[in-house]
Structure 1
Amino acid sequence: MGNVKNFKMIKVMFLTLFVFALLLGSAFTSQQAQAASSNTDIQLKAAGHTNLLVVNLMQHKIGLILATTTALQLKSQIESTDGSLQTYAVQTATGSTRADGTAVAFGDVLVVTAADGVTKTTYRTATLATVSNAYIEPRLSGSSNLVAVYNKGPVITAYKGITVANLLAQVESSDGTAQTYAVTDASDAAKSAGALAAGDKLVVTSQDGTASITFTILLVDFVRELDTSSTAFGQYTLSPGLTTSVLSAGASINNYAQNSASNGSHLQVAFTAVGQWIEMTANVPTAGEYELNIGYKKNNGRGNPQLSIDGVNQGPVVDEYIVTTDAGMYMANLGKVQLTAGDHTIRFTLIGRTAGTSYTVSLDFLGFTKQNAAPTITNITSVDVTTTAGTAPVLPSKVTANYSDGSSQQADVTWESISPSQYASAGSFTVNGTVAGTTIKAAANITVTPALKTAAVLSGTHSVNAGATFELTYGLSNVKEDLYSQDITLTYDPSKVEFISAAPLNSTAHAIYSKATGANTVRILMASLGENNAVKTGGNLLSVKWQVKSLTESAQTAIALSNVVIANAAGEEKVLDSVSHNVSITYTPTIDKTALNASIDDAQSKHDLAVEGNQAGQYPTGSKAALQTAINNAKAVANSGSASQQEVDQAKADLDGVVQTFLASVITRIPGDVNGDGKVSIADLAIVAKYYGKSSADADWNTYKFADLSGDGKIDIEDLVIIARLILDFE
């Protein structure tokens, strides 16, 4: 007997060691894969990075805190994000290797080579990085909608048609720190989508929230690049004395790198005397009026250029001088000019300097923004006016003017005079009007209808419930003379409604007598007391109250002004046309929802007490959700004011059926049978082994806790031993 027990224990130990071997083999395979990693992502070294502030993987940019940070300090304060062995090299803007002991300079990059020795990624560097930085620059790639981003000014120049999404996707922090961006319109209202318009702005807030910069967005149709590194620069001509040989010897024309400049660089022309110039050709695709803006770098050693186009000075002289602490890229507006399509000669002439001893001029780009021509009125929408014979038509003081740009707006109009003979009888005619700024005439088409006769009016609700009360209003329209008395007869169906009372609504007309004159009629007499209290303009005069009978089905009925006689001050009577008012009576039966509500309460109680899981006495995952859906559907019927008794009964039957299905789904299971196949076997051991190491501290514990056979809140060797024993006992 003892040998049998020892044999079982050996089998348990063997199964446990087998599971551990599988786990260790998986870890070993992971280490082998890591050795050939192609990962080039880096992060700040956890052991210390005193010279570095941030590594931005999205921008491939590294923010250096100090301008004196050396290449060696940069390389020694970063590491792989996955622990793989990468190699690092700092290169200058010209591609040469930066010596370890020398400081990282503007334009330097870090080249990261992955452990596989093949995959490489280049990271740009930015010095003086700080979490309070709100400066931005165009993204190195994918910024085709942008011309330049100037942090001085500050202004973003972009091509027309750029959207909010384009802008947000094409700018980034100048030092890799995490900034936030918000686009607003000219009135500072938030703008989350759509094309950008003139006056829109981008608000940049620093990572720590202490600094923000609002950039004005300048939209252009096209630009003339002015730096020679641009493929669009083309040919240029220099004034006498600034030949190519002279430039190479002293006075020079060079491109200077600047992240925020158009194409990443701007042109500097080292003029030596006032009057010298540089000129080139700019091609204008379509004729029109253009607003010109020039981008350039201000500094303390600068000359001041004057732009001319085809020999005519354009805009003010550009003052390029500024103290060194404020040096940077700026924009200057050079006014508007009318240009024909085709090539134009643009020249920048040195006029002088504001201060210092240098005549150097900076030129980045010349932006052209086409102006919309002032729209003209192309037509005026005619107006239609209706009046009755003998009444002068009332014409509008404004008309809708339609413009050449597709817009419309209201414009003041002066109409021609109208003779009374034109509206004395029924017919139609046209009156013209004058609008300032155009010879196009406004037109009013006037229709004259026959004079309206005095009419009785009966108004009010057209829908009531059985057993309810309601009111109708009696009145007159188109009163032509002073009226002092009225004789009103109302006819109705007494099987459906009953007359209750009548009350005056006008202080000048009183209901002095009302009487039922038959089974289905009531007669009301009204009089206006005193010479000054005549009914002159009509309107609502009397409120008549009715009671709906307690019907057992819906019905239609009508109440009519079957006879209305009015009289004026001379005692002359006039009989008015009869008027009928239709009323729909709705009968609403009572619906019994008692049984349905009881079923809902019972189902909800069973739902709330039930527990989902894989253990005996628990319910399958998702079964409670299905029951709750059925409960919610039943509640919808119970809460509906339009549900019929048949729908209520059906909702109860449906819910009761789902409850029975739910109760029948309760789980019963053999101890240790974690996969529910009716036996305890090595298949169950495999499942427990798969979740080895999981515990109640894991967020998804509910998914795995069925494998916790010991019930101690974790899946460990104890659970493996338990199931191994159960396997042997089961066999």
Structure 2
Amino acid sequence: MRLGAGVRRLLAALLLGMTAGLGGLPAAQADNAESPSFGSIQLLPAVEGDLNQDGNRSVGDLAIAASSIGRTSADPDWGSYAGADVSGDGQVDIADVSEIARWILSGVAEETAAIVLTGPGTARAGDSFDLIYGLSGRKSAITAEDLTLTYNPDQLELTGTEALDAERYAILDHVQSPGGIRFIAVRFGELQSSPSGDFVKLQFKVKPEAASGASAITVTRLIVSDGQGIETSVGSAAHHVTISTSLPGDYNHDGKMGVGDLAVTARFYGRTSEQPDWMEAKDYDLNGDGIVNIQDLAEIAAAIFAG
């Protein structure tokens, strides 16, 4: 392959440093004895190519990749070197090293996976709601994952957990306690090579005695792995729900039922549970029949007259 002039200069400087009597360590690692060695990496960083896990792509990462040239997936210790295989072809070669060099010179950051939690922004005491867990920005394959989620047990109760596509995403086991759940899942078929999207529905109920205010539901830990057993820590994310103890149907939170509440409900008239924006409209389905219709409006009108 033909390398750019900048990449060639960077590689030449790297190779010169590696032959300068550093006891086998890449030059970048010799300058900082406390930097983790590549062989010690167990969890790959979210940013691909950051092999020394310092949060940046630099010549330190380039040195680690260059010292791994020739390693293949057939080696028994491949797990210690697979992070340098940025092309994902099962071997570390000059193409991987030059790719990291290009990233360093261009300053272009690789895609970083992000946890996505989707759910309502508000809920009333006694209400039930769904929270959807998914990923965005992930391009590398995922075969298995280990997720830990926490919430305030004084405000919320987790009543159910289910995969959105049970044929291609299987929750193998889970451990649940008040205030948290950890589950382990595997993916099949297209969900391995297309790792971004929505995957799990978590069903919550606001406790009747819950105090009003914000309540956080947080993924505190997510570890994913590809088919070669290379684990990556994705990070954390939180979704906040504001709990209201106001009257059912008091959507403008003024402590009484009025035409303001009727007008807000009418804005979602005709929405059903089959439509993609149902999570937003669901709160206005007062009788819980899966549709915002004249019955919900009539219930609010009756409450206005009841005063």
State the TM-score, normalizing by the size of structure 2: 0.45
Higher RCO, Cα 8 Å, sep 6+:
2
State the TM-score, normalizing by the size of structure 1: 0.20
More strand by share: 1
More helix by share: 2
Structure index of larger Rg: 1
